[in-house]
Structure formats: C-alpha cells, structure tokens
Amino acid sequence: SEITIAFSTEGAYTSPIKQITLDIPYPQNAPLAVLMNGEPLPQYLYNKKFKQVTRGWYYNLSTHAIEITYPNPDKDYQITIITSALDMIGM
C-alpha cells in the first residue's frame, strides 16, 4: 500500500522555515520508496550520511520511524510513502 501526506498553503504568508524534517512512526518495516510530488527522494542507509543532506529519507531501525528531510517548497505538495512492491509497478 501507500501513505500520502498532503500539505497545502493558504494566503500570501511566506514561511521563515527553510528545511522540513518529518519523523513518521512506521513499525512494520522500511518502505520501498518515498516520493515528493511523484518524484523519488534519495534513500540513505546510514544515519550519519542522512544528517548531512538537505533532501532524502532514512529508515531508523532504532525508533522504527521514517525520517524525511527536504527544503521547504513554499507551495502545495505531497509526500508519498510506498510500502509494497505492488505500488512500484505503477511508477
């Protein structure tokens, strides 16, 4: 299956936040892919490397959470987490 989180903006306010980091509990197992607006984000297997980048995702085995980071797009966008191989066929 897949999980989609949609973010939308309203009004003319410009956020001072430059970097977004999501920490999503997901105890089942690591997802197959994480997409932003349909485009795959790079996966990092090592937390040390993940902490050095501004765009990508990492599955934290210690906390059983998906960590996702990216520059704030300041517009509507979606993050999609692909959790099964069946979802990958349609990509």
CB 41 within 8 A of CB 22: no
CB 2 within 8 A of CB 71: no
- Amino acid identity at 79: I
CB 75 within 8 A of CB 19: no
Helix or strand run (H / E) with residue 48: helix 47-50
Model's pTM, two decimal places? 0.88
State the pLDDT at residue 25. 95
Tell me: the pLDDT tens digits for 28-63? 888 999 999 999 999 999 999 999 999 999 999 999
